[in-house]
Amino acid sequence: MIRFEHVFKRYPERGEALSDVSFEMNVGEMAFLTGHSGAGKSTLLRLLGLLERPTRGQVVVHGRNLASLPRGQIPFHRRQVGMIFQDYRLLPDRSVFDNVALPLVVAGLPHKDIGRRVRAALDQVGLLKRERATPSALSGGEQQRVGIARAVVARPPVLLADEPTGNLDPDLSREIFELFERFHAVGVTLLIATHDLSLVRSMSHRTFTLHDGRLVKDSGGH
């Protein structure tokens, strides 16, 4: 379960990026996060991924309060939360295989398990045959699927995506969203920040709307 309780986030020398944001998501829920550029979407996701800490308030993921999580538990938390970015963030000089393997290498998984898990992740995104390619040999849609394979390879229960289709055309965007629905179908909790309102409307999932750092709408609150 994900819970925000009166969360504020202020960056130095800026106004508030998030102001008094509260909501809950159940395990296995899939939701979209929309709002204008600068509304606070990326900030909200970064708080969940522990790339930032809130200025005030509580962010709770699976019972862990991230505001006070001891440093030593950060790597464990990061493995529970897969993150996907608009610009893919792949290592350009490494193969698809190595890019996807990275979280498992960092986690110190035995070599023999890494190959099996990486291929399972590549299979899920339909890229099993491209494991030796480097990212520059792939299309944008394929590069994003590598990013997704990397995000799911450690089998995190929570997936966060920050404008994952921002650089993709509508057909490829739909394919990426359909891929997310498959993870949703097997119980993964997903929160996807996106500008793509036509896709959001066509998919009937809970939708949060941020405006100037405030949560102004929740289509499916509990």
Ligand X SMILES: Nc1ncnc2c1ncn2[C@@H]1O[C@H](COP(=O)(O)OP(=O)(O)O)[C@@H](O)[C@H]1O
| Residue 38 binding: pick among Mg ion, ligand X, none (C-beta 5-8 Å cut-off by kind) | ligand X
Minimum gap (Å) between residue 184 Cβ and ligand X: 22
User: Are 35 and 211 a contacting pair, CB within 8 Å?
Assistant: yes
By beta-carbon proximity to Mg ion, the closer residue of 85 and 97 is 85
- Single-letter residue type at 20: D
Contacts of 124-130 spanning 24+ positions with Cβ under 8 A: 124/149, 124/152, 124/179, 124/182, 125/149, 125/179, 127/96, 130/96
Q: Cα(50)–Cα(69) distance, rounded to whole angstroms?
A: 9
By CB under 6 A, residue 164 contacts ligand X: no
Look-up of token digits 């289709």: 165
Minimum gap (Å) between residue 138 Cβ and ligand X: 26
Minimum gap (Å) between residue 36 Cβ and ligand X: 7
Would strands 64-65 and 56-61 be described as parallel, antiparallel, or unpaired? antiparallel
Minimum gap (Å) between residue 41 Cβ and Mg ion: 5
Look-up of token digits 């909200």: 44
By CB under 5 A, residue 194 contacts Mg ion: no
By beta-carbon proximity to ligand X, the closer residue of 12 and 63 is 12
Site string for Mg ion, 17-46 (x = CB under 5 A): ------------------------xx----
**Total number of residues that touch Mg ion (CB under 5 A):** 2
**Total number of residues that touch ligand X (CB under 6 A):** 11
Give the residue ranges of DSSP H helices in the chain.
41-48, 74-80, 96-106, 111-124, 140-152, 170-185, 197-203
* 66, two tokens: 């991230």
**Contacting ligand X within 39-78 (CB under 6 A):** 39-43
| Residue 117 binding: pick among ligand X, Mg ion, none (C-beta 5-8 Å cut-off by kind) | none
Please identify which residue in 6, 27, 38, 132 interacts with ligand X, judged by CB under 6 A.
38
Which chain residues interact with ligand X by CB under 6 A? 11, 14, 17, 35, 37-43
